[in-house]
Each structure stands twice: as C-alpha cells, then as structure tokens.
Structure 1
Amino acid sequence: MADDQRSKNDYKDTLFLPATDFPMRGGLPKKEPQMITRWDEMGLYAMLRADAKDREKFVLHDGPPYANGHLHMGTALNKTIKDLIVRTRQMAGFDANYVPGWDCHGLPIEWKVEEAFRGKGRKKGDVPPSEFREECRAYAAKWIDIQRTEFKRLGIEGDWWNPYKTMDFTTEAAIVREFLTFVEKGLVYRGSKPIMWSPVEQTALAEAEIEYHDHQSTTIWVKFPFVQAPEGLEGAQVVIWTTTPWTIPANRAVCYGEGISYGLYEVESVRQDLEFAPFAAPGDRLILADSLAEEVFGAAFVDTFKRIEDVPATKLSGAKLKHPLNGHADSYDFDVHMLSGDHVTDDAGTGFVHTAPSHGQEDYFAWLGAGLPLDAIPYTVGPDGAYTDEAPGFEGRQVFRTEGKKAGKDGDANPEVIKALVEKGSLLARGRLKHSYPHSWRSKAPVLFRNTPQWFIRVGQGEGSLRETALKAIDETTFYPPSGVNRLRGMVEQRPDWLVSRQRAWGVPITLFVDKSGEPLVDEAVNKRIYDAVAEKGADAWFDTPDAEFLGDKYDPADFEKVTDILDVWFDSGCTHAFTLEDRDDLQWPADLYMEGSDQHRGWFQSSLLEGCGTRGRAPYKAIFTHGFVLDDKGLKMSKSLGNVMLPEQVTQKFGADILRIWVASSDVQEDIRVGDEILGSAVDAYRKLRNTLRYLLSGLDGYTEEERVDVADMPELERYILHRLHEVNEKIRASFDAYNFKAAWRALSEFAIQDLSAFYFDIRKDCLYCDAPSSLKRRANRTVMAILLDHLVRLLAPVCPFTAEEVYDHFPAGLGEKKPSVHLLQFADVPGSYRDEALAERWQKLRGIRRVITGAIEEKRNEKLIGASLEAASGVVIDDPALADLAASVDLAELSITSQATLANGQAPDGAHRLPDQPNVAVSISKAAGEKCGRCWRVLPDVPEDGALCGRCADATK
C-alpha cells in the first residue's frame, strides 16, 4: 500500500510522541517513606551542610514542642511552615541549618508520669524523687523518638540526630548558668504575694499556663458592722459582694472608691411570697453605692427600702469594721481596715470591695499601699487548696477537690464559710454566677490566688529596668504580621514580675542558697561548683550533693537554706537561644527568626525576650513570625468530644505529606486556617494538575540534547513570551518566599503551571511538538523552553513538595546536563533579565484575550453538537479595532486557537457571533473547516488530497 493511501492510524509511528516513565499517579503514601529512607542513607542533611559551608547563615530557631504525645495538626502546621522557610532560604543561597529541639521539663510531662504512677497504685508522694525524675526523663525520651519519626514523615529536614533537649545535662547546666546570671545582676528576689496556684497540681502557675473557661460560682453579699461607727452611721453596716466565699476567712480590709456616690439605706420590708425567710430584715441599715442599691436589694429579696442620707467617702476614711466571722471558733476578733482603692468601681457588686491580701493581686497591693505590714497577711490556704490553721474553724476544708473523678470541682470550703456567716447573722444574700474563670491549661482544673513565698525576676519600671530594655528590643524587631508588635508590647508593658519558681519535681532546680535574712548567696566559686555538678550529673546533682560540697570551706551549711523549688519551664525554653544558638558553631546568635503560633506572644516569644534582655541586653531574635490555629472545615476548634479531630498521620496515610504541605502553602497561615477532607481535596486537585504539567515537560523532553538548544533571540514570539512570564513568576515567587508569604508563592507557581503552561502554551505547541520535524526551529525552540521551564519549576517546587520534586528530578532526561545527588542540593536559578520584554508581554496579553473569545465560541458550538474536536472548526474572527486587528494579523490565529483554519476581517460581525464582555472589539463565528482531515496531524486542510492522506507539512516531516 502506498504511503499516501494508508489509514491515518498507520502514521502513529511517524509522530514524535512524548515518552517518560514518570508515572501519572503520585502514589505518595507509599513512595514518601521510601524517599525518607533514601535521604537518610545518602546522608542528605550532611550534604546540605557541606554544600552550604561558608555561605551567609540564616537561622530559624526552633521553638521546642513538649515531648509528650503524638503530633496534631497544629504541630504539623508549625513544623511545615518552618521547613518551608528553611528550605527556601537554603535554596536562595544561605546556609540555613535547622536544629529541632524539645521541651522536656515541666508540668505536661510530670502530670503524665503522675498518672502512670497512680495507675500502678502509687501516689507521687510515695515515689522517691530520684525515681520520679528518672521516669520523667524516660517518658520524654520515648516521645522524642516518636515525634522525630512523625516530623520526618512530613518531609521536615533538619539535624534530627543532634537536636537540643532541655533535659540534657549540659543543657540543664546552661539553664542554671543563665538563672545565676540574673541572680548576680540582683534581679532575683523572694517575695510573698498572691500568685495563681493549681491545688490539683500543687504548683504555682504563670499567666502563660492559664486559660479561661466558664465556671459557675457561688456569690454572696456580706455585712460588716463598724467597730465604732462614724457619726450618723450608728447601727449601719458596710456590704460587700464576692464570687469567692472561701476567701472571707482571709479578709483583712474593705476598700471603697473616693469618687463613688454612697448612701445609707434602711430596709422597710422584705418579700412575703417566698418559701423561705430572706436574710435581710426590716430595720437593717446598709451602706451601698447608690447606683447598685436597687440591684443589691433585689438579690436580698427586699420589698421596700428608703435612702436615709449621703455617706461621703471621707466619712469612711480610717474607719474600722468588725470581721463578719467575729467570734467564730473564738477567733476573727481583729479589726478590718477601710481603705481607699483606685480599683473600686460601681459597675457591679456593692461599690465596696472585700479585700483578702492573701488571695488577690489588687487586694495585696491595696494592703501594702496603705502601709500595712506584710507579716499580717495570713496563709489561709495550703498547697493542696485546703484551709490551714490560719483559717480557724475551717481547717482542712477544700476550696477545690484535688483527687478522684471530681478533681477540680468545688470542695466544702464555700458551704462551710456560708454556714458560719449565716450563724453570725452576717449574710445578706447569696446567688450563682456563671463567669470566665482561670484554669490550668494542663489539668483543666480551676486555680486560685494564693499568698505564698515564691521566687521572682524583677521586671521593674523606668530607665534601666528589664521592662524598658525589653520594650526597646521589641521596637527593634520585625514582626510578621506587623500587628504582632502591638500584642507583644502590650503584654510586656502590663506584665508583673516574672514568677519563676514551681513546686514540682521534674525540671531544672533554682540553685540558690539563702542566708538567715532570706537573701540569696552570690558567690562565683559556689556557682561554678553548682554548674560543674549539674553539667556532669544533671539536675539530680543539686538534690543529691551535700550542701558542703557546693559551699566549700568558706561557708557553714548550717547558716544557709537550700532552695528546692524548680524553675518555671518557660525559663527553660526562654534560655534555648543561649545553649543552642551560642553553643553551636553551625548556628549564630541572635536568630534571624523565631516562628510560632500567635499564643506564644505570652509564652516563648516573651520568655526568650526577657531572658535575652536580662542577660545580654537585647532580644535573641531579629524577627518574629506568627501563625494561626488549625480549625475543622466548619471553623470549629478540634476536640475529641466533637469528633472533628484530624491527625497528620491520617493525612499522610491517605494523601501523602506533599498534599499536607500544599494545604499549608496554599493557606493564609497568619490567620486561623481550616482543614477537612474537602479542603484537602482541593490540594489534591491542585497537585494532580501540577504533576501533569511536570509529567508533560518530562515526556516532551524525551531524548533532548543540548545540540537542540536555540538562542532566545532566535526563538518565535510565543517562546519569548513564555520566558518573559517565567521571569515575572520567578520574581514574584522569590519575593513571596522572602516575605514568608507562601500562599502568594504557591498561587503564582500553580497558576503559571496550570494556566500559562498546560492550558495555553502546551496546548498551542502540542501540534508542533508531535508533528513538526525535529530539525524545525519552532520545535527546537519549544523543547529549549521546556527544558528551561522544567529546571526552574522543579527548584521552585522543591520547598513545598520535596518528595515530588525529588521524583521529578530523578526522571530528568540525560540531555539536561549533570545532576546532583538530590534536587535539594540545588539553589534557585536566576532567570536572565534578558527574558523580560514588557512590550512583547503586552502584545501577548491582548492575543490571549482574542484566543479566549475563539475558544469560547468553539465550546459553544461543541455544546450544540455542531463540532467535536476544535480541529474540525474554522474560526471567523472580526475585530473592529484597527490596532488590535493588525496585532491579530501578525500571528497564525488557527495555531493560536487550535483550529484548522481561521480568517480575520474588519467591520461588522455577523449576527450570532460569539463575544465576551471584556473583549468588546472581538467577535467570532465558528463553522466547519473546509477540506480533508490529515491522517497524521488531524488538521482539516484544503491541501489534503483525500481523507487520511497527509498535508504538506506532514508529508515533509515524514520524508
């Protein structure tokens, strides 16, 4: 059979069809773990470090997660963002070493170990401290190994086998060194003030360890009679309101506001329609804020009352009241002071504030501010949340239950106090109030303010203070987003002194000896012996070493008390810069960036700031980046009770880590972000399209050699336009990477790959690639551009999809040149400035507009079943803009729109012509192409002699 007579299918072997063994499907859940093993075996991390040697360093310092559980989506988000930052900086030409770390001390781990012991029938108090600490160390080590594997599964590259851990002996010694630096600077003191205390966990808590939940409290209104009433107030009683009845035994004062209008009121009658007798009685004379009197009488079931006279605040100054429990258990017979207080308002309550300096910051400062003695403040509640003997008649009663299934629930303190008040005739009314109340973020149990001796770092006020140094450092820090500066500054401006002592067993001890006057011993030789011992044996050395070995011959151990509290875990993590950035040669101080969730403004960002400013005079970071929290697809917080928890492991097993990373990169991570199957489905769809783009590039470059390369100046316009777009997109992606705007970078990358390449450039040049002779300039230019595109795209993709980028790089055609062992050893390639051509880009943007009208018209006719494939069509294009018409005449419109034929005309378009609103000067009519169908390229052309024969171009190509 002659060539020109054979079936069109016989020409398949004459086409230059793309070929690659790069699979269409990713198969990520199976391939990714194999890739991780390969990277480990080849020593990729060491290769990265060697490759980056002598480059400028970029240091992102890792905020340490707690070593106490499997990863959740929040930690996956956090580590993935960090990896994106580190990888983009490494590929931008920096030495970007990532050293992961773990927080190993503190309540989260100790709480879990306590639970384990309780499960074995052993209470913490029954376990020797050394055994307990050893179990904590083993527990943390176990979870570090688990979390390391889980982080690596996400494609996180770093120094996983040499991380920092706050429980390493040298690290514990470094934390001791940092703390003693504060001591030597005179910033550490022991003070007695009310601090937040968890009776369930029996430890002090910092503000960063507190979260607020609704809590139902018993509220009471209590009457305080005068010891000696001011003139005109005989028989009158001052009324207070409180949501903490259990603090009444600790009451030592009542505060009033000098600017509040008070009145003396008399009860005339009480309600008679009740099944009980109100505590109020006719004849009661009560002093109340005028704006709150009606509300108080309503709560007390008073039917009618009258105002007798004004009570100026000056009349209350210096007055003494009787305690409402006066005489209970033969006690409470002391005077209660009336004090002026700036914190008193008439917004709620009675206009008077019950003041228990043992249990409230404002109460404490009001007491001391009045010149009253510190030693007169009682210790009414012990570490277990139960009354001490300084609350006579209530000893052992608990504010909150501390054990069993009802741990954290109200104890018997409130009922007993209220009962005693009723017996004394001091209760005016009682009620219930649901309000926001502080809880421990670990046990979820409510906390209380409790006066107890603790160790503090003085933050201070004014020039030279730690606060002022920190505020100056904040002003010198760059924030992403910029609003972060206001959040951190506001917290530092308002924060109290740093409470650093905890009554726990697992952590770095407060390594102080205190003399008889309560002052810490400051001696460099003693401090060195302490440091050396901890560096050799860990924190246990402080507890197990005889005091004399630390104190030496210079001091008598009998003259000193050894402190046994441990340091706040936030101090531990606040020191990480000191023993990681400074102590490692492959890092540098200060860090270029700290990056954590937005909650760390009150946590790690702040503790690191205060630690760095206190010891080195500046923040340990140059910039702070904050991300939001992960919510479910409905915008709700994930919780087991709602059944909406999604785990990273589920995502990697079902979709692969690259999909999770696309979800991160495509989200606005500085806000709270949502995740769910549908949202991840969008990431899967974007991945599939991008993978197809890369596969097409690989297949289209089958057999490519450098001899095919065409100089840019010799390329057709379309190729030069695509290179211009590459320059634009590369510039935008690189700038977005530099600004940590991964959403903008991902969008630019995916839109370029899918819209500019797959849907436009590849669509137009597919015919050329398949059908033109290999020697044709157009085909060679097309393959040259494809080689350039593949090289740039795989580099830009590598930080986001490290597994897929490596797989693509493995399939690079040999003709693209010598390869490195891994794509991750490459850097971003600079796109030559000569590719930029704004005038050409403007031309092609207009041509793309014309093309959209043509393809829209084709789709319309295809829907009407008038044509099938676009090559069956001939397009009649009418343009009534002369300049645009001249532009259209300069290109092959049939090639541009994938039709077999196209005509161009000026003037009036025929009725029914297709138009688009944004292209008002272009109209297109579609008709069947005239001629026969070429058996090789499938174009319908007049020069095809008969159906299935070859057009002129194909005939030449197959010679």
Structure 2
Amino acid sequence: MNDSVPAERDYRATVFLPRTAFPMRGDLPKREPEALARWEAMGLFVRLRADAAGRTPFILHDGPPYANGNLHIGHALNKIHKDVINRARQMAGFDADYVPGWDCHGLPIEWMVEQQYRKAGKNKDEVPVLDFRAECRAYAAKWLDIQAAEFKRLGIEGNWAQRYATMDFSSEAAIAAEIHKFAANGALYRGLRPVMWSPVEKTALAEAEVEYKDRTDTAIWVRFPIIAGEFAGSAIVIWTTTPWTIPGNRAIAAGASFDYALIDVDAVGETSHARVGDKLFVAVDLLDKFTTETGIVGHTQRRIVTGADLVDVVCAHPLRGQGYEFDVPMLLGDFVTTEAGTGFVHMAPAHGEDDFFLCREHGIDVPETVNDDGTYAADVPLFAGQHVYKVADNVCRALEDAGALLKREEFLHSYPHSWRSKAPLIYLARPNWFIRMDGEEHIRDKALAALDATQFVPDAGRNRIRSMVESRPDWCISRQRAWGVPIALFMRKSDKSILNDPAVFARTRALFEAAGADAWYARPAADFLGNGYNPDDYEQVFDIVDVWFESGSTHAFVLEARGMPWPADLYLEGSDQHRGWFQASLLEAVGTRGVAPFKAIVTDGFVLDEQGRKMSKSLGNVTAPQEVIDLYGADILRLWVMNSDVHNDLRIGKEILKQQADLYRRIRNTLRWILGGLEGYSEAEILDRAAMPELEQYMLHKLAELDAMLRRAVATHDWTGVYPAIHQFCNNDLSAFYFDIRKDALYCDVKLDAEGRQLAQSETRRACRTVLDILHRCLTTWLAPVLPFTADEAWRARFGEDECVHLAQFPPVPAEWRDDALDAGWAEIRAVRKLANTQLEEARRSGDIASSLQACISITLAVDAPIALQSVNWAELLITSAAETMIATDEAGAGAAAPLRAPPKVTIAPGTKCARCWQVLPEVGEDQAHPTLCRRCCEYVG
C-alpha cells in the first residue's frame, strides 16, 4: 500500500469544512443575561400573546410561592417544570398565558417582622395595627421583587408585568368576597372546638404548616377512683402521653365491646407505685403488658366485663381534694383501641378532637384551662400561670401526692411542631371560624367527586389527596394574627349570628378594592354597615383568614377576574400540596362553585442532596439555584430538572451538576455540528423522503418516534424520560452514528467554486443536508422549552439575530416518516456494526491499522440473515475503504439467533490513499490530471 500524498496539489480548499458562528463553549453565565435583555427589548411575552390569538387556550395556574426570602432549589424545580410545560404548549399550537403570583400574607411574614422587633427591643403588641401591617406589606413587597428577578433569571417566561399577589387591593377584596360566599350559603360558622395551636405564635395552624420532629415526653399511668355504681372502691387506669392535659380531664372513654379485667393486686415490685389491695380495671388484651410495665408481680383476676357494662361508672378526678372536685363519667367511644396503654382514654375536651365531640355529645362543658400562650388560666388549681410544656414534673408530683400515679416514664416520639417557630404544638379549643364539610352544602362529597374527575400525574396523587379529604375535619379558616385579610363579617351581639346582607358585603368589597384590607382597621364600622344598622348592635370580626384560604381563592381573582378560562387546565406543585394548596383550592371552589378549579394536577417530589439526605445549612449540603446559575448557567439547572424523574424525590449536588454540564456539552456540540453542516444551505437542496437513502429515512423515523413522545408529553403533562431520550438521540444516534457516517459525503461529495460556494453535490449529500435542516428545526424547537437560552442562540445562529425560536412552533412530522419495519432492520444493522467496530478497534490497538479508512472489513452472514444486512453498504457504515459481504455456503447456521456466521474480519484495504477524502482505493492514480485522487474526488474538483 502506498500512503504517500504528492505535494504538487493541495486539495483542502475543495473540501467542504463546516463553519458556524455558534461557539463550542456555551459561556451561559455571560450569555443568558444578554438573551434576557434581548427578549425584554423585543417584548417577547406580548408577541407570544399576539401570535397565539385565536388558538386554544392553555392555563397553568401558578400556585403562589411565599414572598419571604431568596429562592431555594425547590422553587427552581417548581418554576422550571411549569415553564417547560407552558413553553411546550405554546410551541405545540396553544395559547399558554401564564400569570405568576405570590402569597404575601400570614404568619411567616408576620413572624419575620416580629423577629426584627425583638432584635430592636420593641413589643409588637404596642405597635398600632396599621403601622404593623404596613411593615409586613413592605417586607413582602421587597422579597416579591427579589424573587421575581430570580425567577426571570431562571428563564421563566410569563406575564411579569401583570403578576398577581394576595396583598394587591383587588386580591384582598376578592378574598373577602369569597368568605362572604361561604357566609351566604351557610357553610361558614363560628364554633368552639380543638385546633392545632401554636403557643409561641398564639394562633391556630393549618395542617400544612405543621412538621413532625422527635421529642422526649412523659407518659403516665393514672388511677381514677370509682365513686359510684357497682364497682365503687375500685379504679379505672388510664395511660396518657400528655400529663399537662390532666387538669382539663372531664371524662373517661371505653370501647363498648372490649373486655376489661378487674384485678386485685396481690404483690408489687420494690419500685412500683401500685399498692397491694388495689382493685384496677384494665383491658384484657393489655393486662400482661400493663402489669409488667407497672411492676405488679402478682394479681388475681376478679371478673371480666365489657365496656358497655361500665357505662354507669362515675369516677373522681385523680386530683380531687386539690381543687378538682367534679365527677368524671364513663363514656363509650368508637375511637378507643387496645393497641397501647390500658384500653381506657382520659377525655380532655379542650385538647383533642375525639374528646371534644364525645364530651359535647354527652353535654359535658369544655373548660378553658389553657391560655393562648400555652400557660394555664388563672383559675386552674395548682398550676395557674405554668406553661403546659414545663409542668409534667409538677403534675406527676401532684398525682403522686394524691395517690393516683401508678407509673411515669420518659419516651421519644414524633410530635407536631410549627415549621416556622420550630416550637411544639398543642390541641386547644378556641372559638374559631369553620367551613362545614358535611352540611347541606355537601362540600366533602362534591370534593371527592371532583377528584375522581381530575387527571393526576402521577396517578397515585389521587388516592393521597382523596384520603385526606375523606378524613379531614371542618376547615378552620381563622387565625388570631394581624397580617392578612380579615374575616370581614359582623355578628349580632344578641345571638352571635352572622349579618348576612349582600349590601354590606358589596360595600366591604368596594372599600377593600379602593384601599385594601387595611380599610377594615382604619374605617369605622358604620362605613361598612351603612345607614340601616346600628354599629352598637354588632361585633366586628378581626380574626384574619387562613393563608391557605387566600391562596385557595386565587382562581377567583386571577382566572375569573381577568376573563381567563376557568377551570384551569393544570395545577402543578410539590407533593406536600395535597394537604395544602391543592386541597384548599379544591374546597374553596367546590364550596362556592360546586366544581374543582382545575382539570389536572401534577406533583413533583422533593429535592435531596447527592446522598439522598434532606438539605440543611447545618449539614452544609444546600444547593442554591443562584450558585448554580453563577457557575454553570440556568440552562444547566433546567436540564437537571427535566433529566430527572420529577415526580419522585430528586437529588442534586456538585457531581450531579457536573454530569448535567457534560450532557449539555454533548447536546450543544450536536447543534454546532448541524449548524456547521448547513452552511450555505438553501431550500433548493430539499430532497423528498422517497428519494433518500435508507439511512436518512431511518433518521426521519427516529425523529418521528421522538416527536410522538414529545407530543404525548404535551398532552398528558408527563415529561418523564423525554429529554433523556432526546439527549440519547443526539449522543448515540447522531454524533456516534449518523454524523460519523455522513461526514464523508458532507465534506467530499460537493463541488465548490473559488469562494467556497456550492456548485454541485451528490444525492446522498443532498439527502444529508435535507435531514440536517429537519434536525435543526426539530431539535432547537424541542429543546427550547428546557434550554431556552441555548436553543434561541442556535436558532439565531442560522436564521439571524432578529429571529427567536420561542416564536416558532414544533415542526410538523409527517406520519409516513414512522416506519417500524425499517427501524427493525436498522436495529439489526447497528448490532452488527457494533461487533465490526469492536474488531476495528482491536486492529487499531494492535497496530495493524492506524485508522478505519485503512481497513477492509469482511462480514460473513448466515443463510437466513435479514435482508437488510445483505444489502447495506458496510464500507460506508463502518467508515472503511472497502468491505466484503459473504453469505455462508453451508446451512449450519440457519435459524441461529445471531445473523453472523463468524466475527467480522479486518484486513488492509488494497490501493492508495486519496489525498482529498483519505480513502484507500485501487483507483487512485487513474486520472492523470489528478493522480492523487480517487474517481469521486476527481469528479468534484474537475
């Protein structure tokens, strides 16, 4: 073989060399802000709305984030996922009008302002309420503006100029009007019942504001002496993990069908508080465990009775003689279990829902033993002024002095805490405003029916929220705070009934629209009541409404009030919002309109660190979106979101981000290669699919598969696997396969003039350039939702600086591009190609060849090998200079699973290296005018 190249003629200028202004390096932290400025200058969102006029609308209603701090990685996940869905819907031919919004009221902001007061030595209660509310408003406004800028930097496209906030005057007026609707339809009532209460924040909390943390508490076993009935002289034993509720005890509950043993205590251990001669009632199923735990080493079982047999039992309070002189009756409750304790439950109606309802059913008063701050009221014997979480020792001591304590022990358990103050919570009966779930309005039933009609992604979300709605109590919507929308109602002092007057409601809304909810505090009651009512006859309600009610009402003042389609097509938030925003929105809309405000719900998981741990500053494992953007750019963060299974918990960290940056580089290099290959391309080059080689038809089939996957995701809101598939296509099908094969035709099958302009080309090259054109249009638009900065850069690099990919649509993909039979054949071809490349690589490693173009590949096929393997040009596919395809003459391999009868064989290709295309061919030297070229290259330089 002669590899020498004559020096007389340099043919490099005759070869097409890809050129593009699209750089290899993304430099995203620098280029992305420039793109944002460009989009702002061109009024991109306004142009999108104008272009979409008349299309089918698509509304993803934004669940409002809280305006009280810089964005965290969960915010980034949420908004990026929403933005991808919105952008994709817009490019799929819809009108995706997106209005971002903020939740601005409530305890989180109020708490931060109070902390500022505490640092300055100020007392919040001494500050006029309007001044305090003004500081809360300023605090929320500051963070709203900061977060808006941070969201924009993430590439989130939306109607930022007309964003919504719950503290806008129009929003506050609408929220008050929604409260009035519940008052008008009878679902709203004021009642006394236990709610989850924060003694630190002095307010009721919603379930979504509660987190569970481990806490060490005291459990006690207590005797309640029976003073009346057949079993007088014996005692009921209860077990409780909340000793502080003993002062609030007013009854005991038993299970009607449970068996209870009455035992005589015959012997006790040295440390036991039980006494020989005690007569105690305990559930039979728990007797052995009870005697072991309380140190009773000998006992006689006197008799067994059922809970129903004990219904006439009356006990004394265990602290009788120390100010607790009331009787304690035995009640029957279906909530009693024999899973732990003694089978009896002590009832403190102010501190438990089961306790409250059972005692109220039997006419037992609910005592107010605990103040808002968690201290006992002044009239509580023994413990007045003490805090409930610091009283366990004193309660146990008092019970021991009274001879009522059988045992105490410390134990660790999961206990509800406020996620803001991190302080433990209590159940506390307080007068509050509730929305009735099961009255004539049938809110629960309607909500469950609405959930059945809603699409869920993932579908498991339906069962999660459904079970919550099935079991939830009436909705407590009142909070005892200052920053928020007041429950703008008046109650008659005479009977505590609601003044349900549409004229009063209308005046209230008008005043709120003009001056905001501050009007409720700044103006006299007469301004709201009008001339028909005497303000002295009415009590003005100053409780504020739960922030979940506010955010649950956003559909009213964002969608309905703006004339946008209702219900929304989609709500998308984290899975914790099954008990938060999703549920609040559902109940609010069902309670006022009878149907859900959404057609579909999508839920995301939570973001963890690379080891699967929850992020915390103390662990030093927090990934902040701002840091990722500064280092890599927003497109990398967006790619991480869409390469993840967002419906389950996601992981992020330095190594994961490095991996995403590497994936991004591969995608970018794919776009760059395509752009370079399209230099000088014109529509005159377009070749019909039918005239294309099979390889190009195969690439179009792959595009059709991806297009179907993308459009299915648009329709279903489930994008799982879409962008990993696009990356795999770029890396495996294009860069490592199609581009590798077609670069020879692209570079060499062309005749250029002295200025590098194209004069002629082969049909194969024409087909390749047609496919590159299609690839560019498909990939840039498909990538635009997730990589908006990069895709737009790649679009402008081809079509000019005045163009924008986000104004484009997904290209139509003809149905005939899909060819599953062709795909099956090429799957066989690629499997053989992989084996042959392994042999070529081995020949390179051994030094037999320096490159694949020096090789001749011999492939021996089985008799029954697929036709596709017999007709393909193996030299072209393997980038060798020659190939031999042989069919085995014997039938020994017929029917075998493998199509090859032997491994591919590599030999040295005969001939001389062409100075232009570098293929080694016997024909090099035939043309006297170009003695160093092959026949093809002579044709394109002649």
Which interval holds the TM-score relative to the shorter structure? Answer: over 0.9
Name 1:317's counterpart in structure 2: 311
Match of 2:500 among 522, 535, 556: 522
Name 2:543's counterpart in structure 1: 565
- The residue type paired with residue 902 of structure 1 is A
- Is residue 795 of structure 2 the alignment partner of residue 809 of structure 1? yes
Distance 1:130-1:464 versus aligned 2 partners, 3 A rule: closer
Unpaired runs of 5+ in structure 1? Answer: 400-409
SS at match of 1:904: strand
Name 2:343's counterpart in structure 1: 351
TM-score, length of structure 1 as denominator length: 0.93
Distance 1:75-1:8 versus aligned 2 partners, 3 A rule: farther
Correspondences of 1:303-702 after superposition (within 5 Å): 303-328=297-322, 331-370=323-362, 372-373=363-364, 376-399=365-388, 410-411=389-390, 413-460=391-438, 464-515=441-492, 516-585=494-563, 587-702=564-679
- Is residue 771 of structure 2 the alignment partner of residue 785 of structure 1? yes
Name 1:403's counterpart in structure 2: none
Distance 1:148-1:422 versus aligned 2 partners, 3 A rule: same
Cα distance between partner residues in 1 of 2:330 and 2:14: 103
Correspondences of 1:51-450 after superposition (within 5 Å): 51-228=51-228, 230-231=229-230, 233-272=231-270, 278-328=272-322, 331-370=323-362, 372-373=363-364, 376-399=365-388, 410-411=389-390, 413-450=391-428
Name 1:407's counterpart in structure 2: none
CA offset digits 1:530-567 (Å, max 9, x no partner): 11111111111111211122222221111111111000
Name 1:900's counterpart in structure 2: 881
Structure 1, 803-812 or 947-956: larger mean CA deviation: 947-956
Confirm or deny: 8 A CA contact 2:865 2:900 kept in the other structure.
no
Correspondences of 1:22-41 after superposition (within 5 Å): 22-41=22-41
SS at match of 1:811: helix
Cα distance between partner residues in 1 of 2:509 and 2:190: 22
Match of 1:863 among 836, 845, 848: 845
Confirm or deny: 8 A CA contact 1:473 1:618 kept in the other structure.
yes
Cα distance between partner residues in 1 of 2:819 and 2:798: 29
SS at match of 1:76: helix
Cα distance between partner residues in 1 of 2:530 and 2:822: 83
1:589 offset after TM fit, Å?
0.9
Distance 1:813-1:287 versus aligned 2 partners, 3 A rule: closer
- The residue type paired with residue 285 of structure 2 is S
Confirm or deny: 8 A CA contact 2:486 2:545 kept in the other structure.
yes
Structure 1, 479-488 or 706-715: larger mean CA deviation: 706-715
1:850 offset after TM fit, Å?
3.0
Cα distance between partner residues in 2 of 1:200 and 1:333: 31
Cα distance between partner residues in 1 of 2:679 and 2:585: 54
- The residue type paired with residue 271 of structure 1 is G
SS at match of 2:904: strand
Confirm or deny: 8 A CA contact 1:222 1:241 kept in the other structure.
yes
- Is residue 905 of structure 2 the alignment partner of residue 928 of structure 1? no
1:881 offset after TM fit, Å?
2.6
CA offset digits 1:436-472 (Å, max 9, x no partner): 21111221211101111111011116x7511111111
Distance 1:697-1:556 versus aligned 2 partners, 3 A rule: same
Distance 1:660-1:157 versus aligned 2 partners, 3 A rule: same
- The residue type paired with residue 356 of structure 1 is A
1:820 offset after TM fit, Å?
6.4
1:42 offset after TM fit, Å?
1.5
- The residue type paired with residue 458 of structure 1 is R
Cα distance between partner residues in 1 of 2:685 and 2:821: 28
Name 1:956's counterpart in structure 2: 939
CA offset digits 1:472-500 (Å, max 9, x no partner): 11111111111211112111111111100
Name 1:405's counterpart in structure 2: none
Identity of aligned residues (%): 52
SS at match of 2:177: helix
Confirm or deny: 8 A CA contact 1:934 1:948 kept in the other structure.
no
CA offset digits 1:748-803 (Å, max 9, x no partner): 32222222222222111111111112412222222122112111211111111000
1:378 offset after TM fit, Å?
0.6
Distance 1:724-1:292 versus aligned 2 partners, 3 A rule: closer
Structure 1, 156-165 or 705-714: larger mean CA deviation: 705-714
Name 1:402's counterpart in structure 2: none
Confirm or deny: 8 A CA contact 2:172 2:485 kept in the other structure.
yes
1:218 offset after TM fit, Å?
0.8
Cα distance between partner residues in 2 of 1:745 and 1:358: 53
Cα distance between partner residues in 2 of 1:465 and 1:840: 58
- The residue type paired with residue 792 of structure 1 is C
1:889 offset after TM fit, Å?
4.7
- Is residue 50 of structure 2 the alignment partner of residue 50 of structure 1? yes
Cα distance between partner residues in 2 of 1:245 and 1:739: 52
Cα distance between partner residues in 1 of 2:819 and 2:97: 38
Cα distance between partner residues in 2 of 1:335 and 1:773: 104
CA offset digits 1:42-67 (Å, max 9, x no partner): 11111111111111100000000000
Cα distance between partner residues in 2 of 1:64 and 1:473: 22
1:683 offset after TM fit, Å?
1.6
Structure 1, 285-294 or 545-554: larger mean CA deviation: 285-294
SS at match of 2:602: strand
1:227 offset after TM fit, Å?
2.2
Confirm or deny: 8 A CA contact 1:8 1:949 kept in the other structure.
no
Structure 1, 386-395 or 835-844: larger mean CA deviation: 835-844
SS at match of 1:812: helix
1:888 offset after TM fit, Å?
4.1
- Is residue 833 of structure 2 the alignment partner of residue 851 of structure 1? yes
Distance 1:907-1:5 versus aligned 2 partners, 3 A rule: closer
Confirm or deny: 8 A CA contact 1:19 1:700 kept in the other structure.
yes
Distance 1:883-1:432 versus aligned 2 partners, 3 A rule: closer
- The residue type paired with residue 383 of structure 1 is D
Distance 1:918-1:484 versus aligned 2 partners, 3 A rule: farther
Confirm or deny: 8 A CA contact 1:933 1:948 kept in the other structure.
no
1:865 offset after TM fit, Å?
2.5
Distance 1:527-1:813 versus aligned 2 partners, 3 A rule: closer
Structure 1, 261-270 or 539-548: larger mean CA deviation: 261-270
Distance 1:746-1:343 versus aligned 2 partners, 3 A rule: same
Unpaired runs of 5+ in structure 2? Answer: 752-759
Confirm or deny: 8 A CA contact 2:33 2:153 kept in the other structure.
yes
Distance 1:428-1:844 versus aligned 2 partners, 3 A rule: closer
SS at match of 1:226: strand
Confirm or deny: 8 A CA contact 1:299 1:430 kept in the other structure.
no
SS at match of 1:642: coil
Distance 1:9-1:841 versus aligned 2 partners, 3 A rule: farther
Cα distance between partner residues in 2 of 1:948 and 1:159: 66
CA offset digits 1:865-921 (Å, max 9, x no partner): 32221101110111123553x544533321121001111212279xxx9xx985545
TM-score, length of structure 2 as denominator length: 0.95
- The residue type paired with residue 786 of structure 1 is L
